[in-house]
Amino acid sequence: MKLFARQTCALVKLSFIELWRRNDVFALVLLGLALMVPLSMATPFGAAGASRYLDEMALLLVWGFSLFVALGAGQRLFPPEFESRTIYPLLAKPISRGRLLVGKYIGAVAASWSALAFFYVLFVASVLLRGGAFSAELPQAVVLHFAFVALAVAVSLLGSLLVTASANLSLSAIVLVGMFFFGRRIPEYAEGLNPALAWILKGIYAVAPHAEFFDMRQRLIHGWGAVDGIVFVTVLVYAAVYVSVLLLLASLALGRKRL
């Protein structure tokens, strides 16, 4: 247990150093500022006082950036190890492939969470600067967002062991963004289609990662209040089960990788 803890700490530290020294996060923050500052100064039709659109845009950026960071972190866990051949000295150390996978996953999630926390700090600061108030449901929304990031890292990690980097990033982004925006409407779309198409859509609805479950943005922006405790726990359980399945598949894929 002590060995696993030390190994995990080392892998977490590696992911942290890599994420923060790559400067991706700072580039994203600059991009966010470049978009948000002009928006915050706009007074549409000369009518001042609107602020929800700023919250909406800021949260959309936080979600987009967190997805970018999470997919990148998941993608960078194994392929670079194979390309640079560091996987050999790493697996020659007293660590099994399974532990390496879990440790690396935890590292990538922790690093992505740190970036997400940083984004939320900036978001809250921007709300407070505009004279806005802290919504009571923010902690719940942040926890669900953290769970989403954990899911996105797992999706990207599995993809990175199956397809090339560009294919993985494109497919993972399409699946997660697609589900984020259209996931809840899939049953609607399936109605009225021919049975074969409807069956395929329903299959996608059943197994695809439901990114939209974690999205409390509208509740936050429009002050709808917190989600029921039972629903909140169900979503977290969903994330945990989904991540476990993805990690199991990733461990099978890593086990089959020829060294």
Partner 1 sequence: MSAAGRVFAALGGIALAWCLAGLCGRDIGRMPQVVRGEGALAVAFGDARETISRAFVGKADSYFHGGIDMDCGHLGHHRHDEHCEDECHEHDHGHAHGHDHEAEHETANESLDLWRWINVHVCAPQEHRHLDGEKSVELMPWLWASVKANPHNIEAWTTTWYIANNMLKDKELALRVVAEGLEKNPDNPELLICRGRTIYDRGHGDLAAAHAAFVAAVASADGMLQRGGDETDERILRARDFAQAYIDEIAKKRGPPPDAKE
Partner 2 sequence: MSECLDIVQLEGVVRAFAGAKAVDGLSLKLKAGEVMGFLGTNGAGKTTTIKMMLGLLAPTSGTVKVLGGDPSDPRIRAHIGYMPEVATYYPYLNARELLAFYGGICGLDAKTVRSRTDSLLESVGLADTAKRPLRTYSKGMLQRAGIAQALLNDPDLLVLDEPFTGLDPLARIHFRELLRGLKERGKTIFFSSHELGETELLCDRVAIMKKGHCVYQGPVKDIAGDGATNLERLFLKTLEEAK
Binds 53: which of partner 1, partner 2, none (CB < 5-8 Å by kind): partner 1
Tokens 């990538």 correspond to what residue?
108
What minimum distance in Å lies between the beta carbon of 95 and partner 2?
6
Binds 195: which of partner 2, partner 1, none (CB < 5-8 Å by kind): none
Sketch the per residue contact string, 204 through 243, with partner 2: x for CB under 8 A, - otherwise: ----------------------------------------
User: Does residue 116 contact residue 66 with C-beta atoms inside 8 Å?
Assistant: yes
Tokens 């929800």 correspond to what residue?
52
Contact set for partner 2, span 47-106 (CB under 8 A) = 84-86, 88-96, 99
* Interacting span for partner 2 (CB under 8 A) from 2-10, 53-61, 174-182, 244-252: 2-10
Please state, in angstroms and rounded to a whole number, the distance separating the CA atoms of residues 135 and 165.
39
Contact set for partner 1, span 32-61 (CB under 8 A) = 42, 44-53
User: Does residue 259 contact residue 88 with C-beta atoms inside 8 Å?
Assistant: yes
Binding of residue 257 to partner 2 (CB under 8 A): no
What minimum distance in Å lies between the beta carbon of 259 and partner 2?
5
Binding of residue 64 to partner 1 (CB under 8 A): no
Which is closer to partner 2, CB of 13 or CB of 52?
13
Class of residue 109 by CB neighbours under 10 A (exposed 0-12, middle 13-18, buried 19+): buried
The residue ranges that bind partner 2 (CB under 8 A) are 2-3, 6-7, 9-11, 13-14, 17-18, 21-22, 84-86, 88-96, 99, 258-259
The residue ranges that bind partner 1 (CB under 8 A) are 42, 44-53, 144, 162-163, 183-184, 187, 189, 192-194, 197, 200-201, 204-206, 210, 212-219, 221-222, 224, 227-228, 231, 234-235, 238
